[in-house]
């Protein structure tokens, strides 16, 4: 998981909101089980998940993990 966090590109996404500015914790790697949907990102302004090496390496099919939840959550 640590390597995936390092490779994560969520913070470069147009939909990304730094939750620390709202008093929350820094969030990223939304595609991962155990992380999932953001507690503060609510507006989808664009998605760069398709360009993410983590998504590609894990062969994930979904997008907008920050607003819709992890791969497992979306596949329910």
Domain locations in the chain as residue ranges: 2-74
Q: Which two tokens stand for residue 25?
A: 């914790």
User: Residue 38 in contact with residue 19, Cβ under 8 Å?
Assistant: yes
Which regions of the chain are under pLDDT 70?
1
Which pLDDT value is given to residue 4?
A: 83
User: Which pLDDT score is estimated for 1?
Assistant: 65
């Amino acid at each position: 998981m640590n390597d995936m966090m390092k490779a994560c590109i969520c913070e470069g996404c147009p939909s990304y909101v730094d939750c620390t500015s709202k008093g929350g914790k820094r969030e990223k790697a939304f595609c991962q089980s155990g992380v999932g949907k953001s507690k503060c990102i609510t507006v989808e302004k664009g998605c760069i998940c398709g360009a993410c090496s983590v998504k590609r390496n894990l062969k994930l099919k979904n997008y907008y993990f920050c607003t819709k939840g992890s791969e497992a959550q979306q596949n329910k």
